[in-house]
Structure 1
């Protein structure tokens, strides 16, 4: 490490910012994100980027690097207005907030930062109507938007970012640190309550629901028609994750900025054929029930599931009507089994396809 970098990042204390004002602490670390232009409330251009946050200047300051397109995509997806910028945020006790400066090639902006109703709001000093807002901040995700305050007081979103923390996948600890899988187009990450509106489109899709696996689910068909019921299901899935029952990933399509399905996985031990088994449920919106979509979504999961769930086989249900799914499973190396999965109260379930550990 060079002396410059060492001096920049070295902190004698973890932070010199009072804890109650250390608003950016949850953002420290490395993030990858999906950027979208927004016009008339609709998402347009999509660009992949990265955002890196650190404490600097002996713990008195939060500095970040905003890189869009990301270093990994700058050559394959160049953008004429792309940014490779840096921001400094210095806490000022007298204002109980931060002074901020952001610079990238060709521009420099000064802002003041305050917190309002759980949002971190950065106001551009040269135009108080222009604000940069961090919201929906969670352990491994956050949302950011560039907005303009209109004359009637409502906020017009000009562009937005959905960020996910970069982290190595430690598959041996799936219930402690849920891994994120990225295929390029699709990102698979632990389901969140904020996915409710997107997933309602999946679970209210009458063409999709008959292809879902509801075996052994106490009569739940996974057909949900209200946001309240969808969010109730998501809370249950998260409860099961906390008690190490199963993991439910949301399938996020980066091209459209929506969750378009889920994958559930858990380790199953039983007295039937499907023991020492990773049992997988794949629920997709009907317009994604296509062979190539399914293959792209399942490929990273099948490569890692044996380790994550300490299993000798993976099992996925595919009813005869799910022709695209069956083609995808066949090309991924799954084989149809005639054995029945034993459920509760003596129920037997069929149409399972199996991939064995190599």
Structure 2
């Protein structure tokens, strides 16, 4: 059980959360916001199922969710010590994500909510990440969020529950995706991020000067496909590459990504100060890429340079988990009654409503 500080003038709620947007099957029971307790947090990874393919296969992921979700929910309920009478609502990821997995989790949540006669809360997966720091650090609005994961790389202004503004995003590969593709190119195992970081620790960061895309342009958008292409070009020139060359390429790649994120973070914090001069500048980082120590150090330094506070929830709450979904459900219920039984699962669901009609959204909905 994880406990954090209490919050005044609120009603305690206990919510079951379910998360199946990618390759983790997760369920959790969270109580808050008065005591803010994670009563259980069960996660089953699918890495073994996807390793031989070098990435997540959507059909395999959906089948794996079907196979284990009932057991994971039962385990989370058992670990929490709660009965169904103790549960106030069921919250589940309704998108964005791999649509097969989203359907499995959200439809299971609908069935549970109907059977247990509980309200259902359809949670935006990105909102789960955005609000986690309020669970772990009792953070007040507004604050900046840098979400860096396999599927998302974006800066968000978080002004309140349901009130988000996307300030910048990747125009091509997400950072985690770029790490995985780089690892695959260099013959490193999946998932690529930890293996690239491990090799980079043995490398000479000065040997290859790789590009820092878009830093010569204003704004907060990022690009990582060109960086990956530059690395491939260097590797092709030196084929066959030895272990030291792989380590040096990883070091150069990781440093370039860190530099881009640190520079953009400084710009984002300056923008935050302009928009909210009376608020403490805070940058929250979430997502699996936040586990990379060089990137974390670069972001910490960028925050310190601008006099801002750096917040990173514990790693098990930065990566995909159901505790963040349950907490987002609690935050939503604090605003008033919620019952999303008619809400459909969706592969795309941007947090900021102003981007809901962007060009190229297509039948799947607006891109995130």
Per the normalisation by structure 2, the TM-score is 0.21
Structure with greater helix share of residues? 2
Greater RCO (CA < 8 Å, at least 6 residues apart): 2
Structure with greater strand share of residues? 1
Which structure is larger by alpha-carbon Rg, 1 or 2?
1
Per the normalisation by structure 1, the TM-score is 0.22
